Structure 1
Amino acid sequence: MTLVKTAVVILDCAEPEKLAEFYKKLLEGELTEASANLVEIRGADGVRLAFRRDVNATPPSWPRPENSLQAHLDLLVEDLDEAERRVVGLGGRPIETRDAAGPYEERGYSDPAGHSFTLRLNPTTAPKQG
């Protein structure tokens, strides 16, 4: 028997309704819970995120060192350019524009409340043909 059934990542922000709407559209999800201080969504693939009201919330300053990263999301995508257009269209902004070092193609962004996240190319797992 599994003791923990699932996990929810919760981001503090001043306006949880607005941030939930950003991620709901980005993840093509649905609203699952809303109260005066907490809004939760479930993305199309089942990922759960919640947004807690903190009127004194200040966005992380990452990549500057004066304020730690606090939380970081990696969103796996099939098309980086298409995903970037969606992020920017929904109010996100690029924060890492140089090519990432390492085995993954990825780009860094911040959501409208300033939390950072990465779009990372999801490598195909299908066997090569021919």
Structure 2
Amino acid sequence: MSTEATPTPATRYVAVTFDCPDPYELARFYGAALDLPVAYSTDDFVLLGRNGAPGLGFSRLAEYQRPTWPDPTQEKRAHIELGVDDLDATQARLLALGATEPPAQPQPDRWRVLLDPAGHPFCINTGV
């Protein structure tokens, strides 16, 4: 039996991918919101990213069902937290880009919950 340690293979965080009905629509929204270019795309997938940094992916899912947050009927699976300097100004910009505002706002003075064009909740905050 050998006592030599097996080297751990390198693992890198590359992207988080969101299921959606239209990857190009969601990539347009997040690309504009985060100033990220398209790094790769196919008919059913778009990856946003820059210079080898972690990116955001959007994958077409034919049977996609919008999350109904805060109603638990169709739960969200994940969400993004975005740090911002000005909640009001950033919220107005994201709404103009196509986000919507759900009725529930747990702590609107500290963070805001918005919904992207595919219905995924995401938060903007001034620091956690």
Distance change in 2, residues 1:66/1:27 (3 Å): same
Deviations 1:42-93 (A, max 9, x none): 269x441000011211111111111212111111111111110111010101
* CA-CA distance at 1:2 after TM superposition: 6.8
Give 2:83's match in structure 1, choosing from 76, 87, 103.
Answer: 76
In 2: Cα distance, 1:2 partner to 1:93 partner: 42
Map of 1:53 onto structure 2 = 60
* CA-CA distance at 1:121 after TM superposition: 0.8
Map of 2:27 onto structure 1 = 20
Contact 2:65 2:74 in 1 (8 A): no
Q: TM-score, normalising length from structure 1?
A: 0.82
Does 1:115 pair with 2:113?
Answer: no
In 1: Cα distance, 2:122 partner to 2:80 partner: 5
Contact 1:10 1:50 in 2 (8 A): yes
Map of 2:46 onto structure 1 = 39
Supply the RMSD in Å over aligned alpha carbons: 2.2
Map of 1:127 onto structure 2 = none
Count the aligned residue pairs. 120
Contact 1:96 1:108 in 2 (8 A): no
Map of 1:93 onto structure 2 = 100
Secondary structure of 1:89 counterpart: helix
Secondary structure of 1:93 counterpart: coil
* 4+ residue segments displaced more than 2 Å: 96-99
Map of 1:62 onto structure 2 = 69
List runs of 5+ in structure 2 lacking aligned partners. Answer: 1-7
Q: Where is the strand percentage greater, Structure 1 or Structure 2?
A: 1
* Same amino acid, percent of matched pairs: 28
Of structures 1 and 2, the larger Rg is shown by 2
Worse overlay, 26-35 or 1-10: 1-10
